[in-house]
Structure 1
Amino acid sequence: MPTYITTDESGRITASADWPFQGSVLCPCDVVRYPNGALYRADALPPVYGNPGTSEQQIDGECPDGWVVMHGLRPAEDGKEYVAQQDGAWIIHTPTPEEIAAEVKAQAESAAIITARLYRNTVQTAAFSALEFATFAKAGLFDEWKAGETYAAGYRLAHKGVVYEVVQEVTAHEHQAPDAEGMLAVYRPLSNTEGEDPAGTAEDPVPFIYGMDVKTGLYYSYGGKLYLAKADMPACVWTPDTAGLWQWEEVQA
């Protein structure tokens, strides 16, 4: 099939097609596109240089110091790694035992990094029970609350073994820790220090945490006593022993 080309002042091919186009001339041979994107006449291919012992190659230009002229382009069709030899040949690279060991180590480290990132991302977004959050805290999957840090809304962190979710963006201050009085508008507790996930029955009550979501009909323990929640109390700041509060009912064991 005939090939038509255009060239620049240096004679380099700038465009080619199987049909005549403006400014083109008929090329007497095939046109080849090299990996560097340039077009060359098949009867005037450029030199290829290789860096011995590596897969590096350079097309055209001056030969870099220490490199050699190769017999052709580095093979790329089979997806294998080829390295340049001093005689100008490309050979398939055979990894050394040290290279294999280094690759295995890097793969294991990469898997550990990715797994840790997935864990941390998951515990920041998914829903879990109080027991699960407490377990994650013990595993070190949450950053410890630190004065001076700025936390975005929705961020989850740990403080004194309890997991909290930031309700609104805040810059942490030493005297305004998550468990400090009046901080429920900023930090919402998601777990307790015991790491329990009780049924909420009279026999297995939920340990009350200041600021936790209280569910009607469940039993809670507080101060060594048993209480029944008579209403839903989101982010509850009323302890079960609060006098005159109908939402809590003390139950005699």
Structure 2
Amino acid sequence: MQVFAMPGESLQQVGGDCPEGWVVMQEQRPEVGLVAQADGSWVEPPPPVPASCTRRQGLRALLVFGFKRADIEAQIAAIDDETEREEAQIDYEAGVWERANPRLQHMWALLSGSPEQLDDLFRLAVTL
């Protein structure tokens, strides 16, 4: 009997028709809490995204992601509006970086980063 699941979710369906957006799994979920992958395997879910990290942690994570302070500072310097540029500089120099900060999210997008990559950056940052 086939097993179906939605990638990224823990819910499974045994038998019947494959719901739209779901995939055929290699086996039934072997333990509670695992999430389905698009290839039909089950894996541990990613850890939750931290709400914040210290500036030091964030800068070190940016290095791992291939960015240097000069990259960020160049983005800030390129902001035309003086007030916005000053606000961005204040947020950049803050002792704590908050994942929900819209300016931080915007700066990350300017560096061609996706929201999922920013989540990964924060997950990494709190380990450094």
TM-score, normalization by structure 1: 0.19
Higher helix share: 2
Higher strand share: 1
Structure possessing the higher radius of gyration over alpha carbons: 1
